[in-house]
Structure 1
Amino acid sequence: MKAGKNLVLLGRFGAPHGVRGEIRLQSFTADPLAIADYGPLSDKSGARSFTLLSVRPQGKDMLVARVEGVGDRAGAERLTGAELFIAREKLPAPEDEDEFYLADLVGLRAETRSGEELGVIVAVRNFGAGDILEVAPKAGGETLLFPFTKAIAPIVSVAEGRVIIEPPAEVEGEPQEP
């Protein structure tokens, strides 16, 4: 698989599970078990390919996977932390107008309801507390970060190439006591 902008992150390997080469897997697909149905996945560079032979649930948010070519704990340890990607064009098209892949947001204009262009979305980040839109300002400078919530980004139109952003009001800090 060729590396590039049009890759979609589907999962991430965790720690090994047991001694026979199984590994924990965090799936980002709507149906977590469906991650094994996409065929070979790759790392971000496209240099390594991974075929999931089987997956099973373990707990609420984790799977245990068997990966082709990995037969022992040492092999599973080498995969720890690897992210699993698929080319965007291999995924089905969204069925509804309001459906999209987060990867589809990269490159869209970020603008206010009044049409003021804030910049271009350069990434969708998630540091554990929810998705964040990273916007490169039109005038340059440091990127802007907006929580990707319905309140802040009420309108997403991939077809029009834009996301409406309603920036939150800035909050002044409380005065410091001397």
Structure 2
Amino acid sequence: MAELGRAHGVRGEIRLKSFTEDPSGVARLGPLAAPDGRRFTIESARRAPGGAPDLLVVRLSGIGDRTAAEALTRTPLHAPRAALAPPDPDEDAWLAADLIGLPVLDEAGETIGRIVAVPDFGAGDLLEIAPARGGATAFLPFTRAFVPDVDVPAGRVVARPPADLFAPARAEPPPEDDAP
């Protein structure tokens, strides 16, 4: 749902990057959990200075000074599933957790793999797919061009992968044609 950033000031405030549609909505989700089990309640939140709409400055319960805030830098925070509104199926919206484990079929109905993660490295969501026949995973852009159909209730995703989706990466580019 969010990731804590650097400390803001000396009184324990900390920057928070929200991954919710409405960035300030993360403060209404109740206690958020860190991967190590610690739970944090957002006592106050305001938009961070600058132009990034998804950055907030928050005060967390139990964090009262800069040192405590600095210790939380890069900590991911998660909300319990019960705190989330169900996605609207008419809006083409899904929770990433709902996609993990779903089979990925090509347009002919053949299983090409299974979704193992839905990362976003900054340029948009990707589907990380483990191939049906084993081997290394591959990334597919999570766009309509590559993923024309997602049917979470039916438990399937239809994709238009490139032919070389699971091909190993080449160490060097192919040789150029030296013909005149």
TM, length-normalised to structure 2: 0.86
Instruction: Name the structure 1 match of 2:156.
Output: 162
CA distance in 2, matches of 1:20, 1:99: 38
Q: Does residue 33 of structure 2 align to residue 42 of structure 1?
A: yes
Q: Using the TM superposition, give the Cα deviation of residue 86 of structure 1 relative to its aligned residue in structure 2, in angstroms.
A: 1.3
Q: 2:51 matched to 1:51?
A: no
Alpha-carbon shift at residue 101 of structure 1 (Å): 1.0
**1:23 partner letter:** I
Q: Using the alignment, how far apart are the partners of 2:82 and 2:130 within structure 1?
A: 26
- Greater Rg, structure 1 or structure 2? 2
Shift of 1:177: 7.0
Of 11, 25, 46 in structure 2, the residue corresponding to residue 20 of structure 1 is 11
SS of the residue corresponding to residue 139 of structure 2 reads strand
- CA offsets 1:19-73 (integer angstroms, 9 cap, x no match): 111001100001000100000000124x111110011001332110000011110
Separation (CA, whole Å) in 2 of partners of 1:80 and 1:12: 8
Q: Which has the higher strand share?
A: 1
What CA RMSD, in Å, does the superposition of the two structures yield over aligned residues?
2.0
Shift in Å, 1:169? 5.1
Contact 2:30 2:83 in 1 (8 A): no
Structure 1 residue runs of 5 or longer lacking an equivalent are 1-9
In structure 1, C-alpha distance between the alignment counterparts of 2:34 and 2:152, rounded to whole Å: 26
Runs of at least 4 residues of structure 1 off by over 3 A? Answer: 169-178
TM-score, length basis structure 1: 0.87
**How many residue pairs end up in the alignment?**
168
- Distance across 1 between alignment mates of 2:29 and 2:8: 22
Structure 2, unaligned runs of 5 or more: none
